Amino acid sequence: MKTPAIFSYIRQHIKTFITFILFGIIFIVVLFLYNLPVEPVLYSAVLCIIIGIILFILDFIHYYRKHRLLYQLQKQVTLSIDDLPQAKSLLEKDYQELIQILFADKTSLVSGADAARNDLIDYYTLWVHQIKTPISAMRLLLQTEENTQNSELSMELFKIEQYVEMVLQYLRLDSYYSDLVIKKYNLDEIVRQAVRKYAKIFIGQKISLNYEELNCQVLTDEKWLVFVIEQLLSNALKYTKEGSISIYMEGKDNNTLVIEDTGIGIAPEDLPRVFEKGYTGYNGHADKKSTGIGLYLCKRIIKNLSHTIEIESQVGNGTKVKICLDHIDIRFE
């Protein structure tokens, strides 16, 4: 809890107050010992007290104004320290010089970190685009001859493509809004794009798809929402060895997209943390290939789109992922 300014001021000047009280006591004792008249002593004491109170009030007002200025500067001091109040004493000047040294050092560190991060992003972005060329070439080579081995290799190549796409989307998160196109879309068309992409995996794993017409218009960004649904389908297929995956709408206003599977489910202790970056939980440790990035990306993207996402699951009884699509107040971070 923040200390009120008046108490802070009194604590800062407590030595001064004690000193004046001691002076007053000495003054009274000396006058008493010399048997001087009481009336002029009281008169001079009252005058001193009145003048002291006035000076105290004026000094406190100046102190409080400086406190308010410094409090307001807390919100922008990370950007600039040009508006620091003028130093009134040697100590204040020393503190301001110390702040300037620390600010300059912090600015240098931030600039260096930003430059290194931008270089890293540029490198990985280039790598992602370059790796797509050999992936496309390998896919063409595999399509020249149809056999069981090539079919399995094609599935593994598809997984590589998905991981490459995940890297690209991860890199784009911080420049998210420069790539955002918000308008009303037909949700059926968005979901079908993701389903078509994973059609071969559904067939290969003999997982049935229960798809109900969604009949829903949603205000969102098509590309980013497709990516989220693809990630959710990928997870559902990864952890569903047999059974089915269902896609349907629910909610009072029919505004919640549900992707439900009959997979292995998620342990209760893992549910609160599944959206954390890098968290894989029990299933991730068992799978050995889980990165803990997919659901983290989904959460970030859904939040940026101003939708909400939640997961319900029981071990051995499958998982339900619910995306509520009725939030349209897009927030810019």
What predicted TM-score, i.e. pTM, was given to this entire model? 0.63
**Alpha-carbon distance 90 to 96, whole Å?**
10
In sequence order, the 6+-apart residues with CB closer than 8 A to the CB of 281 are 266, 267, 270, 273, 274
Give the mean pLDDT of 229-250: 90
Residue 69 — pLDDT band, cuts 50, 70, 90?
confident
In sequence order, the 6+-apart residues with CB closer than 8 A to the CB of 111 are none
pLDDT above 90 (res 257): yes
CA distances from residue 249 to 17, 126, 215, 330 in whole angstroms, order as listed: 72, 39, 9, 22
Is there a contact between 249 and 324 (Cβ–Cβ < 8 Å)?
no
pLDDT above 80 (res 328): no
pLDDT at 289: 55
Give the mean pLDDT of 238-250: 90
pLDDT at 112: 87
Residue 37: what are its φ and ψ, rounded to 5°?
Answer: -60, 145
Compute the residue count for the chain. 333
pLDDT above 80 (res 32): no
At 119-163, the pLDDT tens digits run 887 888 788 878 878 888 887 887 777 676 777 788 788 888 888
Is there a contact between 282 and 270 (Cβ–Cβ < 8 Å)?
yes
For the chain, what percent of residues have pLDDT higher than 90? 15
pLDDT above 60 (res 252): yes
pLDDT above 80 (res 174): no
Give the mean pLDDT of 9-27: 82
Residue 332 — pLDDT band, cuts 50, 70, 90?
very low
Residue 225 — pLDDT band, cuts 50, 70, 90?
very high
pLDDT above 70 (res 333): no
pLDDT above 70 (res 218): yes
In sequence order, the 6+-apart residues with CB closer than 8 A to the CB of 256 are 249, 250, 322, 323, 324, 325
Give the mean pLDDT of 248-268: 87
The 10 Å Cβ neighbour count of residue 188 is 16
- Burial annotation 29-45 (CB, 10 A radius, 16+ → b, else e): eebeeeeeeeeeeeeee
The 10 Å Cβ neighbour count of residue 224 is 24
pLDDT above 60 (res 204): yes
Per the prediction, the chain carries an average pLDDT of 82
